[in-house]
Chains A and B, each alone.
Chain A
Amino acid sequence: MSTTERVGGVGTPPPVDPWAAAHTSTDFAMLRQRFRGFVFPMTAFFLSWYLLYVVLAAFAPHYMAIKIVGNVNIGLIFGLLQFVSTFAITTVYVQFASRNLDPLSSQICKRVEGGVW
């Protein structure tokens, strides 16, 4: 991992603000990019998926009433899929976070708290 320190530059006194130093480090940039790169598209996805469901339920009830198996219709399957997708996104996020975010963030955290910056 990089220990690049851009704040202060060559020959200047020690950095006055460790937060700024941490903030401009490449590690933090990578952490933020990974976090936002996962969270923003996922939010866009589940919000549109949910709004699609709400709009269909409100404006296309006859479509939702089409039966697939026995008395189980599209609406019920669609609704249960919202549960499935919610559970799935939760699980995927937890895995993603513990694999890709937590190691990096705890590393930066330690350096900030230990006064390395």
Chain B
Amino acid sequence: MIAALVQHAVGAPLLNGGIFVFFVLVTLVIVFRASHRTKTAADYYAAGRSFTGPQNGVAISGDYLSAASFLGIAGAIAVYGYDGFLYSIGFLVAWLVALLLVAELLRNTGKFTMGDVLSFRMRRRPVRAAAAVSTLVVSFFYLLAQMAGAGGLVALLLNVSSKAGQALVVAVVGLLMIFYVLVGGMRGTTWVQIVKATLLIIGAGMLTAWVLGSFGLNLSALLGEAAAKSSHGQAVLAPGLQYGKNTTTKLDFVSLGLALVLGTAGLPHILMRFYTVPSAKEARRTVVWAIWLIGIFYLFSLVIGYGAAALVDGGPQRIASMPGQENSAAPLLAYQLGGEVLLGFISAVAFATILAVVAGLTITASASFAHDVYANVIKRGNLDPDREVRVARITAVVIGALAVLGGIAALGQNVAFLVALAFAVAASANLPTILYSLFWKRFNTSGVLWSMYGGLISSVLLIILSPAVSGTPKSMFPSLDFAIFPLKNPALVSVPIAFALGYLATVLSKNDIADPAKYAEMEVRALTGAFAERSLESPVDIPSQPRPPLRPMPAATAYSIPFGSTGDSPAELTAKPPELTPAAPIDRVLRRRVLMATGVLVVVVVLGVSVSMTRVLAAPPQGANTTPQLGPNTAADVGPEVAIPALGGIIQVGKTPAFVAVSPNGRHAYIANGKAQVVTVVDTAVNQVTATIPIPAGPPQFLAFAPDGRTLYVSIFNDQRTIHAIDVLDTASNTVVATIPQPARPYLAAVTRDGKRIYVPNHDTASVSVIGTDTNTVIAEVKVAPNPHWVTFSHDGTRAYTANHESNVVSVIDTTTLEVLATIPVGASPHSISVHPSLPLVANVNYDGGTMSVIDTNTNKVVATIPVGQHPQDIAWAPDGRFAYVVNEGSNSVTVINARTNQVTATIPTGANPTSIAVLPNGRQAFVSNVDSGTLTVLELTG
């Protein structure tokens, strides 16, 4: 999008690509340099514990400031104002939990993974299995969201619009990421994070200084200008624009706030970073650095967000109307201020961010599988570290491949809820267990299992039952409705559930007594760091208990026998030589363990992949959810539930604007001016006429875009019925390139989704002509009931629907056999027809009946008839499918219908004799052509 913008505005787009490649090369060099020092398990998982607190603090900021934090928060502030700022505060305050309660204690008691700490004084295998399940779920969902977002973001920045191109981008991201992980291990990815985070913060600092400088360092002036530029005015300076609609959305926000503040310290890929430093003191410095860097960065974001609103040409409206919507705010600002070089720099940093974050997630997931599941659950700790690292590397490849497949499947889908899910699971399953383990002596294995699985299952279940998955047109399955839980974020309920389950299960399981000696050991280790620094450098030498120097002991087992009451002491901290372990009836046990572990992995993977696959199969090809949603950008998740359009202004567009169509990219509106014999072009960023194209063949009446937007088909006829033709208009040059003669008056045509055929309703011959776009000649004719006005296609392209004015029916045409499959009686004089963006519904308006009919396309029956104004002439759906807009020519108004309840929610006045309506693909504005006023009425749809 941005590249397209640059192309559009300046005409030199290759720079982005060059800077991207340069960045990738630099990171590859870094990874290679790190590779020859990655040999042991501690090297691979924890970078040999060689990083200093400040280095790790920068890296952890890099992990945390994903592309979403960077682009999403600045963008949310630019478009929604204050509400974007709220998210950044939750993300920041969360670090205090990590600083005070988690980081140091965790560093002192664990080795590589969350499972190390949780299993320290519990029955090792079930607890490790639970920790691994939770880690894999969180990491995989987070990874999937990042990968899907990567495709979207890079597509946005490099102007790759085809599905295949985006899939290729995801595959390349995946390959690079696997390479980072395999070759560089934790050390390589950490260095990549450090470089990237430094550049990101420098870049953001430059933008901030630039913005503040242009307002004379006056924050108030900046805020005033941002409010002046926004259509929401002063409302952008206070909370409530985005989620303040009703009590449910407000509670949803509180729930999200809770998930953010408690989830961060439970995110496995963040936790694992605490092991890359040599001591708890360095872990503390890590968090301190992270807090300062992240805090300062979010303060920058505040200025960048409002700065983008105030300074970008066209203001927040233009940002929101960009294909990347609010994600484009920071890049647009960079371009506005520093031209292409700064834009390329910011874009490349965003790309590097995705690479580094997915690499960190993959290491975490592979470590959890290899270390927790394979080495300790399956092999019971009897695995040499080299072999374990080999397993981790193989797992990383598998996870990387799955992430690529899942990411491709989820491309362009709304996967933002996966991020919300990741935070909610981290807050519900991980944090309560971590806190109980560290601070509650009595906490036992039952408590761990109930709390983890309870938190995991309740948060996943509540999300499945939430509006994020079903029940609204924006849901994953818009056609189903099992959303019995009203909140999109489950944390408000699932976090208390997890705490309560952990408590109750512990208190009620009287026989399951946690080993008090292990608790004593854990607490002393946690607070003092005894044996943490030295021993963890080389895991094989760890004594479980330090021995008085003068008393020779056979092995560390000397202490673990009397105190390891469950017989299941944490072997990862025990220097047990492998051969000393009882080689029990291992075959059967082993097989069971393998089955269990494979099961865990398969469940996670199948869930992830099938969710995205079904989404792809169930989703419309041109849904509204094409915005990339990355990282913890849950901003868009708590959207407004009620949109009452407001009048947005009037554009003079010539004498008789009878029909308006918006280009598929939303940048232009084309208006057919019949009497003037011109097509008028309006730039939707500024809502001004930018071109007037003469149509010498005759009066233009209707306009149909090819799906790629490059060609516009103009239906031409005159009142005397002596002229009937279709003009082919090239939108790049805005010139007519061909004229196709027609046998009768062509009404509103439609182009098939593949762009190969045009269907033209011939008003006077009761037929539809099928024209091949390659030769511009009629290749077939389909007889329908008299007289077809409008034609449109189903999303899968297998059906065409015509509204037949004189016979009060809608015809359904099979586009393969060109047979009429059904004729559906509707109201009096069906004039126009429109397919719902996601549900199996088609709606038409009945000109003489004054109604709108809704047809279920599965049964081909009318399922609702809704009274609207007089002489409804045109209908359009909101791109998210929540509302239908009907233009009433006879009552000079637009009727807004809630698609879910079929109730009229608003009626808005227009100019004289409104005849058509076109909605921008981003759903924010619509244009109504007023044929007798010579104007377009602009409707602000999002209120």
Which residues on A are within 8 Å of B, measured CB to CB?
Answer: 14, 16-20, 22-24, 28, 31-32, 35-36, 39, 42-43, 46-47, 50-51, 53-55, 57-59, 61-62, 64-65, 69-73, 75-76, 79, 82-83, 86-87, 89-90, 93-94, 97, 102, 105-106, 108-109, 112-113, 115
Does B602 touch A at the CB level, under 8 Å? Answer: no
Give the shortest distance, in Å, between A42 (CB) and chain B (any CB): 6
Residues from chain A with Cβ under 8 Å of B517 in the complex = 17, 19-20
> What are 7 of the A-B contact pairs (CB < 8 Å)?
A50-B89, A69-B220, A71-B219, A72-B220, A87-B291, A90-B96, A115-B547
Tell me the complex Cα distance, A36–B517, Å: 20
Interface size on B, residues (CB 8 A): 65
Does B288 touch A at the CB level, under 8 Å? Answer: yes
Give the shortest distance, in Å, between B78 (CB) and chain A (any CB): 16
Binding-face segment, B250-258, B401-409, B872-880: B250-258
B548 touches A54 (CB 8 A): no
- With A17-B559, A59-B250, A108-B524: A83-B96 Cβ-Cβ less than 8 Å: no
A87 touches B292 (CB 8 A): yes
Residues from chain A with Cβ under 8 Å of B298 in the complex = 83
Residue on A with the closest CB to B100? A39
- With A72-B220, A76-B82, A82-B92: A90-B288 Cβ-Cβ less than 8 Å: yes
B530 touches A109 (CB 8 A): yes
Residues from chain A with Cβ under 8 Å of B299 in the complex = 83
Residues from chain A with Cβ under 8 Å of B439 in the complex = 36
Does B690 touch A at the CB level, under 8 Å? Answer: no
Does B210 touch A at the CB level, under 8 Å? Answer: no
Residues from chain A with Cβ under 8 Å of B99 in the complex = 89-90, 93
A105 touches B89 (CB 8 A): no
Does B798 touch A at the CB level, under 8 Å? Answer: no
Contact of B244 among A46, A58, A70 (CB under 8 A): A58
Give the shortest distance, in Å, between B764 (CB) and chain A (any CB): 58
Q: Which of B525-563 contact A (CB under 8 A)?
A: 525, 527-531, 534, 545-549, 551, 559, 562-563
Listed from nearest, the 4 A-B pairs whose CB atoms lie closest are A70-B220, A65-B238, A61-B240, A23-B520
Most buried by B among A24, A28, A50: A50
Give the shortest distance, in Å, between B439 (CB) and chain A (any CB): 8
B527 touches A32 (CB 8 A): yes
B224 touches A93 (CB 8 A): no
Is chain A's interface secondary structure helix, strand, loop, or mixed overall? helix
A20 touches B546 (CB 8 A): no
Tell me the complex Cα distance, A29–B93, Å: 30
Tell me the complex Cα distance, A112–B546, Å: 7
Does B521 touch A at the CB level, under 8 Å? Answer: yes
Residues from chain A with Cβ under 8 Å of B95 in the complex = 86
Residues from chain A with Cβ under 8 Å of B531 in the complex = 112-113
Residue on A with the closest CB to B262? A47
B238 touches A58 (CB 8 A): no
Q: Which of B81-139 contact A (CB under 8 A)?
A: 82, 85-86, 89-90, 92-93, 95-97, 99-101
Does B385 touch A at the CB level, under 8 Å? Answer: no
Q: Which of B216-250 contact A (CB under 8 A)?
A: 218-221, 223-224, 227, 234, 237-240, 243-244, 250
Q: Which of B147-198 contact A (CB under 8 A)?
A: none
A90 touches B291 (CB 8 A): yes
Residues from chain A with Cβ under 8 Å of B545 in the complex = 17-19
B528 touches A58 (CB 8 A): no
Residues from chain B with Cβ under 8 Å of A53 in the complex = 89
- New A-B contacts (16) at CB < 8 Å, excluding given A14-B551, A57-B240, A70-B220: A22-B530, A28-B524, A28-B528, A35-B527, A43-B97, A50-B257, A58-B254, A71-B219, A76-B223, A82-B89, A82-B93, A89-B100, A108-B530, A109-B528, A112-B530, A113-B530
Contact of A61 among B90, B96, B244, B549 (CB under 8 A): B244
